[in-house]
Amino acid sequence: MNKIVVISVDTLYIKIGIAGKNHHAVKFKNPDNNTLIIQNAFIKVFRDILHKLPKDSSITLVEETFCSMKNKKNFCDILLKELECRYINFFPSCLMSCFAAGIENGIVVEIEQDYAAYIPIANYRILDQHIVMSKLTLNTPSNKDEDLDPQNLSKFFAIDDANEDDFDTDELPMNLALHKIKRLIPVDLRKILAENIIVVGSAVKNKHFETQLKALLLSLNMRYVPSTGPWVGGSLYSDKLSDSITSCECLITYDDYCLSSLPTTIPDWFDKKFTS
């Protein structure tokens, strides 16, 4: 069987590997959406590491939850137009983090370089109208044992006597962001979502961050659920999916993108959002 190639993209890294594996085959720094650098890197990975022809390959692309349409188009140009892959199936990273953790209901906290997103998930659907975004994030060291800046860490969590009125609405610390999202989501979902808090991003690997995270969630009566991350979720999902594409919602094929005479719309999860 022709195994699906899984690619995950975030603000820091691009990871590539074969579906069904519990770890990616290669990881490289995201060159800030430099199309030529990414294309050349993909060619090398397919040839030297995966030992697969791109034109014989199907792609699961685990994208940033808030990936722009411009960036999605760049990946379509590279993978479909230039490398002639069979299709791309797009999945938002927050859902794949849930899949990797084995849960379908919870709150996914994605800590990126420029923002932290608090995303409620119900039955593998994104409750987009209740998402909380914050510019207050962490620039974390790559070494999990390296010290984080204590002042930044304290500011990010703000466990002690923090009040929402003391912060801009788009710069909430984690403590208040979780309070806010719990208040926003429907009453009948609050308990079940609060029982499953997934946190992903480079900060999670740092032992100092994890210690404070668990203390905060305990004080909020929330439960931390470890996740092996969005790439692994995409790998597991794609392996179960096998090579069938009949039930996929956010899929675009080579024929549709490159050969059709009709205007092509790149699919996006937001067009299939959950309405509570």
**Separation between Cα atoms, residue 156 and residue 82, nearest integer Å:** 42
| Average pLDDT of every residue of the chain | 87
Q: What is the pLDDT of residue 148?
A: 66
Q: What angle do CA 106, 109, 110 make, to 5 degrees?
A: 135
**Separation between Cα atoms, residue 226 and residue 210, nearest integer Å:** 10
pLDDT at position 101 over 90: yes
Q: What is the pLDDT of residue 82?
A: 97
State pTM to two decimals: 0.89
19 vs 208, higher pLDDT: 19
Q: What is the pLDDT of residue 161?
A: 63
Residue 201 dihedral angles phi and psi, to the nearest 5°: 135, 170
SS3 content of the chain, % helix, strand, coil (to 5): 40, 20, 40
Q: What is the pLDDT of residue 275?
A: 38
pLDDT winner (highest mean) among 78-82, 166-170, 198-202, 216-220: 78-82
pLDDT at position 224 over 70: yes
Cβ proximity of 214 and 55 under 8 Å: no
Structural domains of the chain ordered from first start: 5-95+230-272 (3.30.420.40), 104-219 (3.30.420.40)
pLDDT at position 273 over 70: no
262 vs 244, higher pLDDT: 262
Burial class (CB in 10 A: 0-12, 13-18, 19+), 209: buried
Of the chain, the percentage scoring pLDDT greater than 90 comes to 62
Q: What is the average pLDDT across 55-68?
A: 94
Q: What is the pLDDT of residue 33?
A: 72
What tens digit of pLDDT does each residue of 141-196 get?
Answer: 554 445 667 777 878 887 666 778 788 888 899 999 999 999 999 999 999 999 99
Q: What is the pLDDT of residue 248?
A: 52
